[in-house]
């Protein structure tokens, strides 16, 4: 027969386990609008649109969950800190963390509390992301983004090549020698009359 101490110990252990949060409760997610996210059960989650007024904390996000046949299973309009929860064959619980709205792309930062992500085949075959433009010049214009050259021919290394693959020739011209600065007069604040020029 099981002793009372054993039963009390098991009840205490079960209560402690149920009260403790799992160490890995979820996954952070960052999605752009119209970017699909695949879940188990042939479900696809999409951030349809973002509406941010003057204050991003008061913005709203339109989210939808689609079945494998393209039918809309559930849609919600949520604000920061609110949950998208779906109960079906699989349960999905997503919290909106932050909303970022821009001219060309809107981003939504979320946290997956519950749900099983699967490989996202919807994005296969799409071209890679466009590189981020470089900081502009002094006038504020954005510098054009130049894609890397496709297998440009390489010149053979010179006889005096260094270990990093660069030529050692001409390095004396790259870093100029420091020159002695002329001595500064002690009376910087005072001005002396200019001497007449001899002609």
Looking at residue 27, its pLDDT comes to 81
3-class secondary structure, 12: helix
Domains in the chain, ordered, with CATH? 21-119 (2.60.98.40)
Q: Which residue has the tokens 């979320």?
A: 110
Looking at residue 175, its pLDDT comes to 45
Residue by residue, pLDDT tens for the chain (199 residues) are 567 665 666 665 565 544 443 333 478 889 998 999 998 889 999 999 888 776 666 789 999 999 989 999 999 999 999 999 999 888 899 999 988 877 777 889 999 998 888 875 554 543 333 333 334 444 444 444 444 444 444 454 445 444 444 545 544 444 444 455 555 555 555 555 556 666 5
Q: Are 145 and 133 in contact (CB under 8 A)?
A: yes
CA pair distance 119, 42, nearest whole angstrom: 11
Q: What is the 3-state secondary structure (H, E, C) of 18-50?
A: HHCCCCCCCEEEEEECCCEEEECCCEEEEEEEE
Looking at residue 16, its pLDDT comes to 52
Token pair for 186:
């002690």
Q: Which residue has the tokens 């046949």?
A: 69
């Amino acid at each position: 027969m099981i002793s009372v101490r054993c039963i009390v110990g098991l009840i205490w252990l079960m209560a402690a386990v149920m009260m403790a949060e799992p160490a890995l409760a979820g996954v952070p997610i960052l999605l752009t609008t119209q970017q699909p996210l695949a879940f188990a059960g042939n479900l696809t989650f999409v951030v349809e649109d973002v509406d941010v007024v003057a204050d991003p904390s008061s913005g709203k996000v339109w989210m939808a969950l689609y079945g494998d046949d393209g039918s809309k299973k559930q849609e919600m309009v949520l604000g920061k800190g609110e949950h998208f929860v779906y109960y079906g064959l699989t349960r999905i619980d997503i919290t909106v963390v932050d909303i970022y709205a821009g001219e060309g792309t809107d981003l939504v930062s979320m946290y997956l509390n519950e749900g099983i992500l699967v490989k996202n085949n919807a994005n296969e075959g799409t071209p890679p992301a466009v590189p981020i433009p470089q900081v502009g010049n002094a006038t504020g214009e954005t510098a054009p983004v130049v894609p890397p050259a496709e297998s440009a021919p390489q010149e053979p290394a010179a006889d005096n090549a260094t270990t990093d693959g660069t030529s050692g020739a001409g390095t004396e011209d790259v870093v100029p020698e420091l020159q002695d600065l002329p001595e500064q007069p002690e009376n910087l604040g005072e001005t002396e009359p200019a001497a007449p020029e001899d002609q």
